[in-house]
Amino acid sequence: DIVMTQSPDSLAVSLGERATINCKSSQSVLDSSNNKNYLVWYQQKPGQPPKLLINWASTRDSGVPDRFSGSGSGTDFALTISSLQAEDVAVYYCHQYYSIPGTFGQGTKVEIK
Amino acid sequence: EVQLVQSGAEVKKPGESLKISCKGSGYSFTSYWIGWVRQMPGKGLELMGIIYPGDSDTRYSPSFQGQVTISADKSLGTAYLQWSSLKASDTAIYYCARRIGLRYFVDYWGQGTLVTVSS
């Protein structure tokens, strides 16, 4: 199984400031045959199922605000919230689907400072 | 509209059996994989396994192989997760989730089913 490790486990950021979450995989999740990274980012708020934010490491899902962006390739990835809003308080998970059936990172809790 | 509607909350005793369900609608149920995800109280997401209802091809995560059974009834458009003998450590919210392909991400989630196992 590919192990996904997120850092930090939690972070507190002031409203309007940048938040960056890192995700490292124990093996590459880049498929060289199509140059795609098999990694997504989900946001989960209390009492709700996860919501897809970013797919293929860097493509925002439909309707996701452009303050959310994904970057990275191979084994190192990041989710950046460029200007934190109150509604962004949540737990964020990276998830690889390169190996079947896939694995999640442990989650990063984002709070307001 | 794509919907995954899960069965209601359950309270069980250790050693009891249980089968929870996830009914898909608004899409071709047999053409998409359905996965089950566990979330223990206050913890993260764990992918348990996935099934392709079209031919019942099932893949389990190593941690869950032999611990649960994933199945589907394509005539009912419903996927299932079952336990033969529950443990207190099975207490969790269980989500079903749809994915387009074997190596693809989840695009729709069910609302979750809370399973509580307590003596």
Q: What is the pLDDT of residues B45-59, one digit of tens each?
A: 999 999 999 999 999
Q: What pairing do the DSSP bridges indicate for beta strands A68-73 and A59-60?
A: unpaired
Examine residue A8 and say whether the peptide bond preceding it is cis (omega within 30 degrees of 0): yes
Residue of A nearest to B47 (CA): A103
Question: Taking chain A, what is the end-to-end CA distance rounded to the nearest angstrom?
Answer: 36
pLDDT for the residue B47: 95
What parts of chain A have a pLDDT lower than 70? none
Chain A neighbors of B61, CB-CB under 8 A: 1, 101, 103
**How many CB atoms are located within 10 Å of the residue A61 CB?**
16
Q: What pairing do the DSSP bridges indicate for beta strands B57-60 and B45-52?
A: antiparallel
B58 touching A, CB under 8 A?
no
* Three-state SS at B29: helix
- Kindly indicate the confidence band of residue B119, based on its pLDDT and cuts at 50, 70 and 90: very high
Q: What is the mean pLDDT of chain B?
A: 97
Six-digit token string for B109: 């989630």
| Cβ–Cβ under 8 Å, residues A71 and A77 | yes
Q: CA-CA distance, B77 to B28, in Å (whole number)?
A: 9
Percent of chain B with pLDDT over 90: 95
Q: Do B47 and A104 touch (CB under 8 A)?
A: yes
Q: Which residue in this structure is represented by tokens 């649960």?
A: B68
Q: Quick one: average pLDDT of B32-52?
A: 97
Q: Do B99 and A97 touch (CB under 8 A)?
A: yes
- Kindly indicate the confidence band of residue B2, based on its pLDDT and cuts at 50, 70 and 90: very high
- What would the pLDDT profile of A66-82 be if each residue is shown by its tens digit? 999 999 999 999 999 99
